[in-house]
């Protein structure tokens, strides 16, 4: 039943992407849709709200955005049949393949379908680094306090890769465990962490940049 429900929902929303010549009357969407995204300060949440407003204006579909603090909390409503869509990144692949923390018979592999991709974000997935800690290159991350978002293998893997790029591991930094993406960024603002992983077009990046700590985003040669 759950697999059928997800399949129908995806097919219904996919109708919104028909050729430009189609008119609204030809597209029939559900009256209500629910999808998950990161918290309210994330770019994924803002984009989901924008898409929801478009669906409401053009097709009368009410979209309920369910904010989640990590990969698990975004994927769980899909698994439980409480949401049809997830504004997810690589976490969807991890869940569909049943790898990393989804390598469990209760979790994966999940019958997920890729509905659409965001190719025009005009931003980047990178580390947000407090400017007041003196980091000028990725090698300078050694000894710094780096946020580890529990329940989020996507953010964990990306941050691990950045450390590896600099020839570092988690043994070379101070791991600061936080429960969610928003909390990882807030930890920088609160002086509890120096580095966190995220999207450079998230509003929280602007908050960090405007804070007394300032913001540094590293270059990758």
Using one digit for the tens of pLDDT, what is the confidence trace for 143-172? 999 999 998 888 899 999 999 999 999 999
Residues in the chain with pLDDT values less than 70: 1-25, 118-123
What pLDDT is stored for residue 160 in this prediction?
96
Cβ proximity of 9 and 77 under 8 Å: no
Using one digit for the tens of pLDDT, what is the confidence trace for 98-126? 888 788 888 878 788 888 776 655 567 88
Element (H, E) at 195: strand 195-199
Where are the domain boundaries for CATH 3.40.190.10 in the chain?
125-216
Residue recorded with tokens 């994927």: 75
Q: Which residues contact 88 (CB under 8 A, 6 or more apart)?
A: 36, 71, 74, 75, 154
Cβ proximity of 215 and 208 under 8 Å: yes
What pLDDT is stored for residue 13 in this prediction?
40
What pLDDT is stored for residue 123 in this prediction?
62
What pLDDT is stored for residue 21 in this prediction?
42
State the Cα angle at 203 between 201 and 204, rounded to 5°: 110
What pLDDT is stored for residue 157 in this prediction?
92
The architecture of the domain spanning 125-216 is 3-Layer(aba) Sandwich (3.40)
Cβ proximity of 110 and 79 under 8 Å: yes
Strands 195-199 and 125-130: antiparallel
pTM here is: 0.71
Quote the tokens at residue 197. 């992983």
Is the backbone peptide bond immediately before 109 cis, with ω within 30 degrees of 0? yes
DSSP state of 17: G
**How distant, in Å, are the alpha carbons of 131, 196, 219 from that of 143?**
15, 14, 19
């Amino acid at each position: 039943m759950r697999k059928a429900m997800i399949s129908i929902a995806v097919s219904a929303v996919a109708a919104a992407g028909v050729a430009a010549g189609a008119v609204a009357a030809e597209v029939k969407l559900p009256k209500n849709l629910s999808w998950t995204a990161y918290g309210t300060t994330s770019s994924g949440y803002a984009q989901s709200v924008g898409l929801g407003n478009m669906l409401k204006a053009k097709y009368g579909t009410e979209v309920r955005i369910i904010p989640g603090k990590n990969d698990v909390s975004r994927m769980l409503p899909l698994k439980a049949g409480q949401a049809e869509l997830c504004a997810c990144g690589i976490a969807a692949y991890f869940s569909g393949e049943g790898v990393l923390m989804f390598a469990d018979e209760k979790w994966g592999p999940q019958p997920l379908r890729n509905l659409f991709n965001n190719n025009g974000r005009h931003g980047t997935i990178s580390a947000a680094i407090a400017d007041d800690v003196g980091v000028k290159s990725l090698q300078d991350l050694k000894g710094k306090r780096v946020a580890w978002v529990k329940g989020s293998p996507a953010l964990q893997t990306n941050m691990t890769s950045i450390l590896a790029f600099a020839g570092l591991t988690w043994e070379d930094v101070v791991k600061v465990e936080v429960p969610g993406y928003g909390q990882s960024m807030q930890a920088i603002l609160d002086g509890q962490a120096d580095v966190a992983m995220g999207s450079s077009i998230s509003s929280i990046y602007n908050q960090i940049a405007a804070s007394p700590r300032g913001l540094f985003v590293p270059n990758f040669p």
